């Protein structure tokens, strides 16, 4: 890579992008973030503001922000100016351009992506400079968001994910005395409807910069449209802004119901939230109707409402879908496994890949399918999914068998099997191909199966854990290095207790092709 040099007035010297010490940069930013989180815990908001200013004006923060937007998956997707930062020189110039004085964000480039229900989701794509500016201010906002966040919020937060939310569902619903009713809720157009006035008044960051982002508008078909509400999906800082808008929902429920009611009954009201998708558990329908009214009042102040289409109260024996899993009790045993819709969507995607590859080579087919199968199986590997994996593998085999037979209508079935499938040890019908590289070496590539992914119980993050609090550093270090065999043993023990009800789950979550 060519070393590009840029003279920076802010640094008083030359900056070489390829020679930046990223370890030093990360350490410097981390120190400031830890100090911000500490000031928040102590309630010293003047100190918080001063530290945020220091971080957003530091070269270390600017360099890390540019690094993020030039290395993520959207690095080659331009905004309305059609500019991308794909060279060291552009990265350096972009870093030095991140100044507050004279900054004016450009409109977003509006595109639409399909949703699971067939509708289209609007996506706003900022320019590279606006993305970097958002990433810079996110570095200063994230320690505050993590310190003040709801304990059981798991979406778009560092060190947390959907599997933590699923494990929390299991934790609060698994016992015979746990809640029997669940409010399965979803916010209607959360990102598109958040009140701008509420955001500016309540988000602890540079108000001038925030309002400029919110009011930058978007371009569609070469026409400029104003944005009067919402934070654009596609912006780097938008998920954190949405999370901070919804933080406090768990607190109002806890204040209302508490750990115990006056009649000494243990409270069964728990909230588990992943971004704008959340569930609330309760003892009865009436209790959840009351909780729903409280949540609606909470959202109304922020310009939001619950979706009538997706919000419902269900009994745990009926079950509900949450983040692609079905959560349901079968004869008193709680099982969480791949939801029917999720399995159907996955198989439709596989069939579409196979259908579009009628004329491609076998190894290309394998290269297209393996990432899809691996990603889907890894997502579900922490739940009760072994039987579903086997059924999915059977469906994929049928799809590939039909594909192979269509390619050779004049050949016998035995010839087709020998051409595309092989026996490896005790496993038959292995879909594989031999690839010859430039050096003349032959390599065998195989189609992976969902059952190749072992089921492993997930160890949920502790609700109060904060990655910006040094007191939790040892906890996160230990969590990262949890021995694999310990997790596998936990998975085997858990699966053995659930096996009796597994057939019912498969019937619920899987549909034959």
User: What pLDDT band is residue 121 in, cutting at 50, 70 and 90?
Assistant: confident
Answer yes or no: is 15 within a domain.
Answer: no
388 shares a domain with 312: no
Residue whose structure tokens are 């009214």: 293
Rounded to the nearest 10 degrees, the angle between the axes of helix 362-380 and helix 386-407 is 170
Of 64, 204, 216, the closest CA to residue 148 belongs to 204
427 shares a domain with 344: yes
How far out from the chain centre does Cα 384 lie?
Answer: 21
Answer yes or no: is 294 within a domain.
Answer: yes
282 shares a domain with 308: yes
The full DSSP string for 382-416 is: TSS-HHHHHHHHHHHHHHHHHHHHHH-TTS-HHHH
- Section 23-30 average pLDDT: 96
Please give the pLDDT value at position 483: 56
Count the neighbouring beta carbons within 10 Å of the beta carbon of residue 353: 15
User: What pLDDT band is residue 261 in, cutting at 50, 70 and 90?
Assistant: low
Task: Please report, for the domain that includes residue 323, its CATH number.
Answer: 3.30.70.270
- Section 424-430 average pLDDT: 91
Dist. CA 247–CA 80, nearest whole Å: 33
Of 396, 483, 383, 459, the closest CA to residue 431 belongs to 396
Please give the pLDDT value at position 391: 96
117 shares a domain with 248: no
140 shares a domain with 181: no
User: What pLDDT band is residue 480 in, cutting at 50, 70 and 90?
Assistant: confident
Answer yes or no: is 127 within a domain.
Answer: yes
Burial grade of 416 (CB within 10 A; 0-12, 13-18, 19 or more): middle
Dist. CA 288–CA 483, nearest whole Å: 40
366 shares a domain with 299: no
Dist. CA 69–CA 346, nearest whole Å: 30
What is the residue range of 284's domain? Answer: 151-194+236-334
391 shares a domain with 366: yes
170 shares a domain with 33: no
Please give the pLDDT value at position 281: 96
Please give the pLDDT value at position 115: 73
Count the neighbouring beta carbons within 10 Å of the beta carbon of residue 346: 23
- Section 7-14 average pLDDT: 48
- Section 307-320 average pLDDT: 93
259 shares a domain with 155: yes
Total number of domains in the chain: 3
Please give the pLDDT value at position 303: 94
How far out from the chain centre does Cα 126 lie?
Answer: 20
* 494 against 158, higher pLDDT: 158
220 shares a domain with 312: no
284 shares a domain with 268: yes
- Bridge partners of 120, per DSSP, are 114
What is the per-residue pLDDT across 451-466, written as a single tens digit (0 to 9) for each?
Answer: 999 999 899 999 999 9
User: What pLDDT band is residue 122 in, cutting at 50, 70 and 90?
Assistant: confident
Whether the Cβ atoms of residue 104 and residue 215 lie closer than 8 Å to each other: no
- Bridge partners of 111, per DSSP, are 123
- Section 248-255 average pLDDT: 94
Q: Which helix (H) or strand (E) holds 22?
A: helix 22-41
Please give the pLDDT value at position 208: 95
Answer yes or no: is 94 within a domain.
Answer: yes
Answer yes or no: is 488 within a domain.
Answer: no
The full DSSP string for 203-255 is: S-S-HHHHHHHHT--EEETTEEE---S---BTBTTHHHHHHHHHTTHHHHHHH
Whether the Cβ atoms of residue 144 and residue 48 lie closer than 8 Å to each other: yes
Residue whose structure tokens are 């609330």: 280
User: What pLDDT band is residue 376 in, cutting at 50, 70 and 90?
Assistant: very high
What is the per-residue pLDDT across 189-206, written as a single tens digit (0 to 9) for each?
Answer: 888 899 999 999 999 999
Please give the pLDDT value at position 117: 66
What is the per-residue pLDDT across 343-354, written as a single tens digit (0 to 9) for each?
Answer: 999 999 999 999
What is the pLDDT of the chain when averaged over all its residues?
88
SS3 115: coil
89 shares a domain with 36: yes
Q: Which helix (H) or strand (E) holds 10?
A: none
How far out from the chain centre does Cα 168 lie?
Answer: 16
Answer yes or no: is 247 within a domain.
Answer: yes
Dist. CA 151–CA 247, nearest whole Å: 9
Give the chain's length: 513
């Amino acid at each position: 890579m060519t070393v590009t040099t840029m003279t920076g007035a802010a640094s008083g010297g030359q900056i070489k992008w390829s020679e930046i010490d990223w370890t030093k940069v990360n350490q410097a930013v981390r120190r400031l973030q830890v100090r911000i989180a500490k000031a928040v815990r102590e309630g010293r908001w003047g100190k918080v503001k001063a530290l945020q200013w220091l971080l957003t004006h530091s070269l270390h923060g600017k360099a890390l922000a540019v690094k993020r937007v030039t290395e993520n998956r959207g690095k080659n997707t331009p905004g309305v100016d059609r500019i991308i930062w794909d060279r060291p020189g552009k990265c350096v110039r972009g870093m030095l351009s991140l100044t507050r004085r004279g900054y004016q964000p450009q409109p977003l480039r509006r595109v639409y992506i399909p949703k699971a229900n067939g509708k289209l989701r609007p996506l706003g794509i900022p320019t590279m400079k606006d993305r970097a500016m958002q990433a810079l201010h996110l570095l200063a906002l994230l320690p505050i968001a993590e310190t003040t966040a709801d304990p059981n919020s798991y979406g778009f937060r560092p060190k947390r994910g959907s599997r933590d939310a699923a494990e929390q569902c299991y934790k609060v619903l698994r016992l015979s005395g746990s809640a029997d009713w669940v409010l399965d809720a979803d916010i209607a157009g959360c990102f598109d409807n958040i009140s701008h006035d509420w955001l500016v008044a309540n988000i602890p960051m540079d108000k001038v910069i925030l309002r400029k982002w919110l009011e930058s508008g978007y371009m569609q078909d070469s026409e400029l449209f104003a944005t009067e509400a919402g934070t654009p999906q596609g912006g780097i800082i938008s998920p954190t802004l949405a999370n901070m808008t919804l933080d406090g929902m768990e607190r109002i429920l806890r204040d209302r119901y508490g750990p115990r009611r006056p009649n000494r009954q243990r409270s069964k009201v728990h909230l588990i939230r992943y971004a704008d998708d959340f569930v609330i558990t309760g003892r009865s329908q009436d209790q959840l109707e009351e909780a729903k009214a409280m949540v609606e009042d909470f959202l109304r102040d922020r310009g939001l409402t619950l979706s009538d289409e997706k919000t419902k109260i269900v009994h745990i024996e009926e079950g509900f879908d949450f983040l692609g899993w079905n959560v349901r009790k079968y004869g008193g045993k709680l099982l969480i496994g791949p939801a029917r819709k999720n399995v159907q969507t996955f198989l439709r995607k596989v069939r579409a890949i196979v259908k579009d590859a009628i004329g491609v080579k076998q190894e290309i087919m394998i290269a297209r399918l393996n990432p899809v199968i691996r990603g889907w199986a890894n997502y579900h590997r922490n739940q009760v999914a072994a039987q579903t994996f086997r059924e999915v593998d059977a469906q994929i085999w049928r799809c590939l068998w039909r594909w192979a037979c269509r390619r050779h209508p004049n050949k016998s079935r035995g010839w087709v099997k020998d051409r595309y499938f092989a026996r490896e040890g005790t496993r038959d019908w292995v879909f594989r191909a031999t690839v010859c590289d430039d050096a003349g070496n032959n390599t065998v590539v195989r189609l992976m199966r969902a059952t190749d992914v072992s089921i492993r119980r997930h160890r949920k993050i502790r609700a109060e854990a904060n990655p910006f609090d040094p007191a939790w550093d040892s906890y996160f270090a230990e969590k990262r290095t949890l021995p694999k065999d310990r997790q596998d043993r936990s998975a085997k023990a858990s699966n053995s207790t659930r096996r009796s009800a597994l057939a019912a789950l498969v019937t619920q979550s899987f549909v034959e092709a």
